[in-house]
Structure 1
Amino acid sequence: MRLRLRDMRLILDVDLDALDGDAAAEVGRILRYWAGAAAQLPLDQAVSHDLMDSQYRAVGTFRIE
C-alpha cells in the first residue's frame, strides 16, 4: 500500500540497555548505516527492519509507517 510521503513517519527505536560497551558508538554506527541506506528505501511504503549492533544482535527497529 503506497501512502502520501507527507503522511509517513520514520522511527528509529534502539534499546540502549541492550547495547554492550560504548552505547554512543553503537548508536552512531547504527545511524551511519541507515543514513547511507536511506537513498535506497521506499519512503512512501510502510517497512520495518531490525536494528543490529556490531555483534549482529537485534537491538531495536527501524520503521517507516
Structure 2
Amino acid sequence: MRFVLDVHVPDDAPAEEAVKELSRALRYWAGNLHHYPLTPGSGEAVYDSGYREIGRWTLTASPDPEAAG
C-alpha cells in the first residue's frame, strides 16, 4: 500500500509560516492514523490551523512494479 499526503502551500506564504503549518499537519495526522483502517481507499482532508482545507491524505494500493516495465 502507498500513503500519499498532498498539501497545498501558497506560493506567497512566508517560509517560516509554511514550515509551521506543514509541521502541524504532519503531527496531527500522524497522531490520528490509528483511527483509520489502513486499507486502500482510506483517507481524509487535511486542515491548517485556521481550519481551512489545505490537502488530503490517502492510502492507495501499491502499483505493480512489473506492470511499469
TM superposition score category, shorter chain reference: 0.7 to 0.9
1:47 maps to 42
Which of 40, 59, 63 is the matching residue for 1:64? 59
> Mind listing any 5+ residue stretches in structure 2 that lack a counterpart?
61-69
C-alpha displacement of 1:47: 1.6
Q: Residues 16-39 of structure 1: CA distance to partner in whole angstroms, max 9, x if unpaired?
A: 117856010000000000111122
With normalisation by structure 2, the TM-score equals 0.71
Which of 22, 27, 32 is the matching residue for 2:27? 32
Q: Which has the larger radius of gyration?
A: 2
Give the percent of matched residue pairs that are identical in Structure 1 and Structure 2.
36
With normalisation by structure 1, the TM-score equals 0.75
> Mind listing any 5+ residue stretches in structure 1 that lack a counterpart?
1-7
Cα root mean square deviation, aligned: 2.0
Stretches of 4+ aligned residues off by more than 3 angstroms: 18-21
Q: How many residues align?
A: 58
